[in-house]
A and B are shown apart, each in its own frame.
Chain A
Amino acid sequence: MSEQLDAGLIAEQIAESDQLGEPSGAHEVGRARRRKEDARLVTGRTTWTDNIQLPGMLYMAFLRSPMAHARITRVDTSAARARPGVVAVYSGRDLADEQGSLPCAWPVTEDIVIPDHPPMAVEEVRYAGEAVACVVATDRYKAADALEAIEVDYEPLDAVVDMTEALAEGSPLVHESGNRAFTWKFAGGDIDAAFRDAPVVIERTYVQQRLIPTAMEPRAVVATTDGDGFTLYSATQIPHVLRVMLALTTGIPEHKLRVVAPDVGGGFGSKLQVTAEEVLGLLVTRRLGKPVKWTESRSEGNLTVHHGRDQLQRISLAAERDGRVRGVRVDLLADMGAYLMLVTPGIPLLGAFMYNGIYKIDAYDFTCTGVFTTKMPTDAYRGAGRPEATFAIERAVDELAHELGLDPVEVRRRNWITHQEFPYDTICGLTYDSGNYEAATEKALALFGYDKLRAEQSDRRDRRDPVQLGIGVSTYTEMCGLAPSRVLGSLSYGAGGWEHASVRMLPTGKVEVVTGTSPHGQGHETAWSQIVADALGVPFGDVAVLHGDTAISHKGMDTYGSRSLVVGGVAVLAACEKVKDKARLIAAHMLEASADDIEFSAGSFTVRGTAEGRTIQELALATFAAHDLPDGVEPGLDADATFDPDNFSFPHGTHLCAVEVDTETGACAIRSYVAVDDVGSVVNPLIVEGQVHGGIAQGIGQALFEEAVHDTEGNLLTTTMADYLIPTAADLPDFTTDRTETPATSNPLGVKGVGEAGTIASTPAVVNAIVDALRPYGVHDVRMPCTPERIWRVVSEAGPPASGSAAAEAPAGASAGASAEAPAPTSGPGPMSTPGPASTPGPASTPGSGSGEATSSSEGGAR
C-alpha cells in the first residue's frame, strides 16, 4: 500500500513542478471537472452526421449481397430507375472505372496478398452484405423502396467461414491467390531451450470470437460539392487519415477535399476505417453535383461495419515447478474476412508484443497467419490485438496456477516485473518505462476482500453448493499511445504516429486550441482545456478546443489506440510552452528586462523580485496591436507543435471478478468487480473513471454475451440488436474502481492512456472467474461468450464434482476425462466448440522426456 501512496505523491509533485511549467495558482490538471461537451449533448443540440440537411440533398441506399460468395452475372437497374423520386441507380460496373480500391495501409510482410477491394462489387461478392448496387433518391423511404426493383443474378460459389477449413487443401478460394494473406513471425530468446525438458508445459487453444463493435451511432455520410471542391461529413474517428486516403482512392486532389467529423457517437475502432460508403458518397456527389446522404440501419451496420477479434490462439507456456514461466509460444490464426481494410493485417501484430504480459520471460516465439474467409473484414476494435493477447496469457497463467496448485495471484507474483526493475526491456523488445504491479494488486485485493471470498468459495465447494463462487484475476499491461513513428515504420505501417496541436491567444485574452485528435465521447474539449488552463494560467472557461474538421484542424492523426492524451495532449502542452516562450520575450521587451529575469506564474510574467509584470492576456492584446514588439518577433501569440513519442506508454492494473455460477442452470452473475488501474498521471479523474467503466463493460460483453454468428453458408445470423447482445444496465454490476499512479516517464504529462485498458483487462478476469467456479467439476475452459447454455453443457459433460475444495485446488488426477472441450469443431452458434486438433489436451501436457514431476492428468498428452 505504501508504495502506491508514494507513487501518487510523486505524481502530484511532478505535476506541481516542472511538468506544467512553473507552479500556477490554479490546478486544473487532476480535477474532476464536469465536461464542457455535456451541455449540447444533454439538451439535444448535437451535430450528428445524420442531422445534416442540405438544400437539394439526395439519399443513398445500398443493395447488398444476400450471399457470402457468388459471381454477379447480371444487374438490371432499369426498373428501379423508373421509380418515383429516384434520381440515379448505379451498379458496381457503372462505377468500376472510377471507384478504385479501398486501401490497406498496413502491409505487414513483403509478400502479403492485398486483394483488390472495390467499394461496390463488380464481378464477385465475397461476404454477405457487400454492396452490389446503389439507389439515389429524393428521400430515404423512396431510396429504400427502389432497392426492391433492382434485379441481380448471382451464380453461387462456395463459402468458407472457418479459418482452419480455409487453410485446408481444396478449400474454396476467397481470392484466386489463395486463402493465406500473410504469415508473420517474431521471436526473442531461445525458445527451444525454454521448452526443452521444461517441467511443466501448458498448452491451450482459445477462440477469440468475432465481435461487432456496435457504437450507438450508426455510420452516416454526407458528401457535397460546389463543383470544384468536395466536403465529406462522416461519422468517423479519423477525419485526417480519411482525407489522405480518400484523396488517394478517388483521385480528388487532397487540397480540394475537406473532411468533417461532426459529433460522433462512439467508435471503439469501428470508425477507424475508410469505408465503401464514404468513397461512393463522394463519387455520387461528383456525378450528380448534388449533396447526398447515407445513414446505415443497425442491421446494415451489423453486416458491414468491420468486425473485431476473430482469432484462434494456440498458446504454449513452459514453466518451472515453482511457477516461473520460461517461455511462451504462440501460434495464431487471424481471420481477415474477405478483404484487407485499413489496418486489418496489423491488428494481430499489435498483440504480438503483449503475450508476455507483465511477466519476465526468457524466450518467446510468435507466428501469425492471416486468413481470408467469406466474411466481413475484421479490423480495429477496442484494444485491437492487445485484448486477445492479454486474454491468452492471463488464461494460460491461471491454468498454470491450477496445474501447480498455486494461488493465481501467487503465480503472477512469482513472474511479474517488480517495481524496482523498471525501466524493463521485455523479451518482445519493448521497454516498459514504469509501473508498480505490486501496488495495484495489493490495492485490488484489499478492495475485493480476496481472502474472504476465497474462504466462501471453499465453503461452497465443501458444501457442494449448486451455486459455485468463482474468482478471476487479470493482471494486464498494454502498449498504447500509438505510436512512435519510427516503430510504426519498422512494422511497415503506412503512416506515422505523431500528433499536432495549435494554441492561439486571441486579442481578448481567450484561447483557441486546435487539436489533431478527433474525440467521439472521450471529452478532449474538457481535458485539453484543463491542460491549457494550467500551462498558460488562464481560466478553464476561457479555452475553446477545435477539432474534427480538416479545414480547421489541418493536420493530425486522429483518435484510436489510447493515443489522444498521450500524444495529442502532449502536443497541446508543447504548443503552450512555445506560446509562453514567445510571451516571455515580449514581456521582457515591454518591461525592459532580460528574458532570463522574467518569471511566469499563474498567467503572469513578472520581473524577478518585483511586482511588475504583464498578464498573458495583456500580452495577447499587445501582440495583436503589434505596436511595440521586439525586433524579429512576429505579431500574434500562437504556436504549433507536433509531438512524436519515443516510446509507447504502458498502463497496467489488476482486475478481480467474482462470479456466481449456477451449475444446474448455467446462469452466471457477476457478484463483484474490482479494477485498480495505473494509467499514470491523471488529467481528469472523472473522465478516466468513465473510460474504465465503459471499457470493463465492453470486455464483459465479449466474455458473456457477444458473438457475431455465421451459418455454414456465411450468412450472418446476428444482424440485429435482438440477436447480437451488448450488455444492458441489468446485465452488469456496479464496478469498484480505483487507481495507483506511477507517472509515465516517456512524456512530460506522465500520462499513459486509458481508452482501452478496461476492455483489455476485463475479459480474462471474467472467464477466469467462471472457470475457477467450475474447477471442482474438472472444467478447464468455457468458450466465449460464456452463455448459460455453454456453461450448462460444460458442466453436464464434465460430470459430478470431485469432492470438496481440495480437488479444485490440487486437480492432479482428480479431473481426468473432464476436459471442457467438446470434440466437434463447428463454426456455427453451437454451444461449445474449439476448432482444431489442439483442443483435446486437458489441463497440461508433459513433454515426452517425462521428468515425471508434472502433474499427470494430461489426457491427450501429445503436443
Chain B
Amino acid sequence: MPRITVTVDGVTYEEEVEPRLLLVHLLRDRLGKTGTPVGCDTSNCGACTVMLDGRSAKSCSVLAVQADGSDVVTIEGLARGDEWHPMQKAFHTEHALQCGYCTPGMIMAAIDLLRDDPDPSEEAVREGLEGNLCRCTGYCNIVRAVRLAAQEMAQAGERREVRTP
C-alpha cells in the first residue's frame, strides 16, 4: 500500500493508504478530522471543501495519495488558538448557518473566493459559491457574511493565506 505524508491542521501524518482512499475519508475515518463532512458522492455539494496547499479543494474528489506531501487545513484548523478566522466570525454574526452541515465547506470556499476577489459584489459571491450547496439558509445570510468578512479582513489589512506556516 502506498505510504503518504500529509500535514493536516499543523500535524504531520504518515499513513499507509489504499490507492482508492478518498482524502475526505482519510481525514474523517483515519485521522478523526470529523469537522469536514460529506454531503454527496458526485462532487456537487462542496460540504467537504478543505484548503489543499492554500487553495480550496473538494476533499471527496481528491485521493489521499494525491495529497502526498501536501498541506491540508480543515475547518478544525482555521482558528488561531481561540481566535476565530474572520470568516467564522462573520458566519456567526450574520446567522449564515442553520444546521451547519454545509458550513465548513462554505467557509473554506468563501475564504478562497476572497483570495481572488477581496471585495466581491453580491453577484460575485453568489457565482463564486455556486459549487457549495446549502439547503437551510437560502444563501442570503451567507452572502452577507462573506461580504462582511471581506470588509473586516480588508480593514485589518488581512489577506490570510490559509495554510500551515
Contacts and interface: CB of A to CB of B under 8 A. Distances in A.
A42 B98 contact: no
A693 B137 contact: yes
Nearest to B93: A34
A297 interface: yes
Given A41-B103, A216-B47, A728-B133, A694 B78 contact: no
A42 B103 contact: yes
Interface in B98-124: 98-104, 107, 122
A48 B42 contact: no
A466 interface: no
A693 B97 contact: no
A38 B99 contact: no
A671 interface: no
Interface residues on A, range: 35 or more
A43 B84 contact: yes
A44 interface: yes
Given A48-B34, A266-B98, A721-B42, A693 B141 contact: yes
B41 A297 contact: yes
Contact of A720 (B32, B34, B44, B99): B44
Given A266-B98, A728-B133, 6 more contacts: A35-B92, A521-B100, A522-B98, A696-B138, A728-B126, A728-B129
Interface string B122-140: 1001110111111111111
Interface string B37-69: 111111011010000000000000000000000
B72 to A, nearest CB: 13
Nearest to B22: A141
Given A216-B133, A728-B133, A729-B139, A265 B100 contact: yes
A218 interface: yes
A88 B40 CA distance: 27
A732 interface: yes
Contacts of A35: 92, 95
Interface stretch (A147-155, A188-196, A684-692): A684-692
A235 to B, nearest CB: 10
Contacts of B35: 43-46
Most buried by A among B34, B100, B103, B140: B100
Interface string A669-708: 0000000000000000011011101111110000000000
Contact of A730 (B40, B126, B140): B126
Contacts of B102: 216
B7 interface: no
Given A43-B75, A721-B44, A689 B20 contact: no
B161 interface: no
A758 B140 CA distance: 14
Secondary structure call for the B interface: loop
B23 interface: no
Contacts of B28: 50-51
A37 B45 contact: no
A53 B78 CA distance: 24
A41 B99 CA distance: 8
A696 B100 CA distance: 18
Nearest to B36: A44
A726 interface: yes
A690 B137 contact: yes
A268 to B, nearest CB: 7
Contacts, number: 182
Contact of A729 (B34, B76, B92, B130): B130
B16 to A, nearest CB: 14
Contacts of A42: 75, 84, 88, 91-92, 97, 100, 103, 107
Contacts of B40: 297-298, 720-721
A735 interface: yes
Contacts of B75: 42-44
Contacts of A735: 138, 140
A132 B74 CA distance: 38
Contacts of B126: 728-730, 732
A218 B38 CA distance: 8
B154 interface: no
A264 interface: yes
Contact of B39 (A45, A216, A268, A520): A216
Contact of B41 (A687, A698, A720): A720
B98 A44 contact: no
B143 interface: yes
B95 A689 contact: yes
Given A690-B137, A732-B138, A217 B101 contact: yes
Interface string B67-93: 000000011101100001000100111
A218 B39 contact: yes
A455 interface: no
Interface string A197-232: 000000000000000001111100000000000000
Contacts of A41: 97, 100, 103
Contacts of A45: 35, 76
Nearest to B97: A41
Nearest to B9: A44
A734 B138 CA distance: 9
B91 A726 contact: no
Contacts of A611: none
B138 A693 contact: yes
Counting from the closest, the 6 A-B pairs by CB-CB distance are: A44-B35, A41-B100, A265-B101, A521-B99, A697-B138, A693-B138
A217 B143 contact: no
19 contacts: A34-B92, A35-B95, A38-B97, A44-B75, A140-B29, A215-B99, A215-B135, A216-B99, A216-B134, A266-B101, A298-B42, A299-B42, A522-B98, A523-B98, A693-B139, A720-B40, A721-B42, A721-B45, A728-B130
Most buried by B among A40, A140, A728: A728
A43 B34 CA distance: 11
Contact of A520 (B32, B38, B99): B99
A687 B95 contact: yes
